[in-house]
A and B are shown apart, each in its own frame.
Chain A
Amino acid sequence: MQLRPILSSLRHHKLTAFLLILQTAFTCAIVINALPMIAYRIERTSTPSGVDEDCLSLAYVSGIQKNVNQQAQHATDLDALRRIPGVESVAVIGSGMPFKGGENSYGICPSASAMQEAMSAQSFDKTDCQHPDVYNGSPGFLQVMGLHLVQGSDFAEGDYSTGDVPTAILTRSLAAKLYPGESALGKTMFQGKTQIRVIGIIDDVLRPMLRDAGQDHLVMLWPQLPDDTGSTYLLRSAPGDRERILNEAKAVLVKINPNRLVPEAYQRTFAAVRHKYFQRDVTMISLLIASGLGLLFVTALGITGLANFWVQQRRRTIGIRRAIGATRGNILRYFQAENFLIVSFGIVLGILLAFALNLTLMNFYELPRLPLYYLPMGAVMLWLLGQLAVLGPALRAAAVPPVVATRSV
């Protein structure tokens, strides 16, 4: 295919061709920048939590009187909840849980000297101490959550109390952070004035809120019994039973003590907890995809519209070319090549714009540098779009009969 005639014909339509190039470039720049944002958010929303998500439901009940013996109430509730058919196990848990949001963190130090250092500096930064989140609950809460012990042992029944804890279990990540290069098992940690012995290590579990990648799994488990006026019961069952069990749990809890609030919004499966946590990301994903598709659609409209116009304008020229021996294929390919050329210019300009846009966005938001492999992706997308948009007008051009050349307009 000869490009020279195409170029010289485009020179007669400098302004329109330039506008088309500009539009392709804008679309290309925006789409290339939107792609990694979509990818990042999809990756974020599929972060595994480390608990048995499909089997868990949470029932929340809040007391309205003070001076209630919470422990006795918990025992009664747990006993009744356990009897609901389909409930495999149940525990009352503290406020921490993956994707529940909020923060329930404590400063903890691997040694007495690190504790001293942090105390005198009045800050945990730049010391060996960490600020992990704490998950706690009634006996057996590890099994209900589905956490896997990889070293050491579970808490003993006698470890559980409402006060300071003697022992803790750490995630692998936290253990590695506190005691790099050695086994954390059996070590004594310092939290304020209390000393806590590490008796076990579990596989990583997420914190209630996502942080930086290095901070996401800093969690320790405490054998501390929840003692607040509001209690969250974590129920384990087969995935299909969860909705029914939540309904029955609500009825059971109200029956045991009607002087309590069981807010509808807080009786939910773990899937619902996860869904709520990522709602904004899901919105953003759909918005980004919708506006990306919208842009491509509008660009395709522009290409089709202009190509149509050019075909009509050049009917006589096409007729003449056909009359002196050009085949339908020649005409078709001419328009396809012309589109390819315009879109290619647009892509080159678009890639430059994409970098500029990325740099600007990086100033305003914590965005990473644009990964290079999105460039060919965006380019291929626009080439395909251009060819698709020009196909109709090009076919119509190819259908122009040679006899047009002999007619006056």
Chain B
Amino acid sequence: MFAYYLDLAWHSLKRSPILTALMVLAIGLGIGASMTMITVLHVMSDDPLPERSGMLYYPHIDPLPKDYPSQSEWGNAADNMTWPDAMALLHARKAEHQAAMAGGSLLAWPARQGELPFSADGRYTTADFFSMFGVPLERGGAWSSFDDQAKARVVVLSHTLAAKLFDNEEALGRSVRLGDNFYRVIGVSKDWAPQPMFYADPSAKGGFGKIDQFFIPLDTAADLKLDSSNDFTGWKGGGNTGSNVDGEYKDPSTSWLQVWVQLKDAAQVRDYQQFLYNYSAQQHALGRFERSPDLTQLYPMMDWVSHLNLVPGDVKLQSWLALGFLLVCMTNIVALLLAKFLRRSGEVSVRRAMGARRSDIFLQFGIESLLIGSFGGVLGIAIAELGLWSIRQRPDQYAKVAQMNFSMLLLTVLMAIVASALAGLLPAWRASRVAPALQLKTQ
């Protein structure tokens, strides 16, 4: 029966090729535009570390003075941590793993003499970073917390940077100049770039398309007073915002660091929340924190990602526009299908008079709508790929990661079929109500 209806549908579509083309075009345009935007939204708010995101947490404490604005144009200063707070959390060792980190950009000097250096992005962090986030190491290893304390001049390079600096030769154990200092290469990581870069400074806006090329111990960076690309916000003396100056690194009233912890189960999460609360209460009692310890929070990783609000307003607006477009296209198809099906009232009444049930008619026209939807879905994929391609040509950072994966592809076809089934529902129902006798009489 299904094959027969499919055949009927095919013949019916062939009979009015222009109308069919119009309907396929309308569905394709609507689905294509929507899928382009849904894909962009998806890659911007996707889980960057699916196998670990459930265990990672971002502790949030509020060391700001009472009258300091919590939410300014530049974000919330309490989203980052001060050096003393970060170190207190790290040294308490209440979590499975804990690491503090900050971004930095340094000039990387190729090993070969006479070549000009280039700028590379990297991270200053502490030993647990690698085991907590599961950074895959190709050769060598990470540093230990002993190296952290000793302010060791060591570095882990990304595969790409190591290859660039050492001309594809062995990098392990060699010395590399970054900025004005030399470091010993103790490890080479596979290129590791979770998108969005959830662990970076909130002002990095997800770091789309960026990758950390080197990792240096945070204590070493502080010791050498390396420049950091993080946002430094101080709240003593008018609240100046800017890059770090000498001394601001360890200042108890300047926030700039990110701290992440790994917790293994609900009990540990509860304990850690209690620990954060106690720490805040203690600082409050000491008079360092002015705000209530009730403000402490422990964000699960994906909550933190949504807290960062990485999707720009423009992209949201474009998504609404695309959905509105789909809505109009759908209304359009409903009207066209209705007209098309009702035009065949004669055929329907003959079939009804010959014994077809209403459900048979409904099924017949339903299948015709689905066929249109499938064609529309295929066209929609093509249009969405075109849309994503044009987005990738944009200079915006997020544009670079606008790619469709297999599940999105599947979703596109599914959406087209569901949309056309929905669009066909009303016309097919209306057609199935055509009375058998009446139509025959007027002929």
Contacts and interface: CB of A to CB of B under 8 A. Distances in A.
Nearest to B391: A283
Interface string B286-301: 0000000000000000
B26 interface: yes
Interface stretch (B4-12, B164-172, B204-212, B324-332): B324-332
Contacts of B334: 19
A134 interface: no
A385 interface: no
Interface stretch (B310-318, B355-363, B368-376): B310-318
Interface in B223-273: 235, 237-239, 241
A299 B339 contact: no
A30 B335 contact: no
- From B117, B119, B336, name the one whose CB has the most chain A CB atoms within 10 angstroms: B336
A277 to B, nearest CB: 11
Given A122-B237, A279-B395, A30 B29 contact: no
A302 B332 CA distance: 6
- The secondary-structure label for the interface of chain B is helix
A26 B325 CA distance: 9
Nearest to A313: B343
- From A64, A284, A313, name the one whose CB has the most chain B CB atoms within 10 angstroms: A64
A306 B336 contact: yes
A269 to B, nearest CB: 17
Interface residues of B, number: 50
A119 B238 contact: yes
Contacts, number: 115
Contact of B396 (A16, A26, A280, A364): A280
A301 B22 contact: yes
Nearest to A37: B317
Given A261-B116, A409-B443, A288 B339 contact: no
A15 B118 contact: no
A23 B343 contact: no
A34 interface: yes
Contacts of B237: 122
A262 to B, nearest CB: 10
Contacts of A280: 314, 396
B107 interface: yes
A146 interface: no
B324 A16 contact: no
B423 to A, nearest CB: 10
Contact of A305 (B19, B320, B322, B394): B19
B238 A23 contact: no
A187 interface: no
- From B107, B327, B328, name the one whose CB has the most chain A CB atoms within 10 angstroms: B328
Given A124-B238, A305-B19, A305-B336, A23 B331 contact: yes
Interface residues of A, number: 47
A20 B343 contact: no
Interface string A292-306: 001100110110011
Contact of B321 (A19, A26, A64, A287): A287
Nearest to B235: A122
Nearest to A107: B238
Interface string B113-134: 0001111000000000000000
Contact of B238 (A16, A123, A364): A123
A295 B325 CA distance: 6
Given A122-B65, A123-B67, A291 B22 contact: no
Interface in A96-132: 103, 107, 118-119, 121-124
A27 interface: yes
Given A22-B331, A280-B314, A280-B396, A118 B238 contact: yes
Contacts of A30: 321, 324-325, 328
A131 to B, nearest CB: 10
B176 interface: no
B339 A291 contact: no
Contacts of A302: 331-332, 335-336
A309 B313 contact: no
B329 A298 contact: yes
Contacts of A121: 67
B338 interface: yes
A162 to B, nearest CB: 16
Given A123-B238, A276-B395, A365-B313, A291 B325 contact: yes
B154 interface: no
A66 interface: yes
B129 to A, nearest CB: 28
A153 interface: no
Contact of A27 (B68, B314, B328, B395): B328
Given A122-B239, A123-B239, A305-B339, A23 B328 contact: yes
Contacts of B340: 309
B38 interface: no
A3 B160 CA distance: 75
Interface in A260-278: 261, 276
B335 A19 contact: yes
A205 to B, nearest CB: 21
Contacts of B107: 64
Nearest to B346: A409
B388 to A, nearest CB: 14
B77 interface: no
Given A19-B331, A122-B67, A291-B325, A306 B339 contact: yes
A310 B342 CA distance: 11
A71 interface: no
Interface string A352-389: 00000000010011000000000000000000000000
Nearest to A67: B180
Interface of B: 19, 22, 25-26, 29-30, 33, 65, 67-68, 107, 116-119, 180, 235, 237-239, 241, 313-314, 316-318, 320-322, 324-325, 327-329, 331-332, 334-336, 338-340, 342-343, 394-396, 426, 430, 443
Interface of A: 15-16, 19-20, 22-23, 26-27, 30, 34, 37, 64, 66, 103, 107, 118-119, 121-124, 259, 261, 276, 279-280, 283-284, 287-288, 291, 294-295, 298-299, 301-302, 305-306, 309-310, 312-313, 361, 364-365, 409
24 contacts: A15-B426, A16-B335, A16-B338, A16-B342, A19-B331, A19-B334, A23-B332, A30-B325, A34-B321, A64-B116, A64-B117, A107-B238, A123-B67, A261-B117, A283-B314, A288-B321, A294-B325, A298-B325, A301-B26, A301-B332, A302-B335, A305-B335, A309-B339, A310-B339
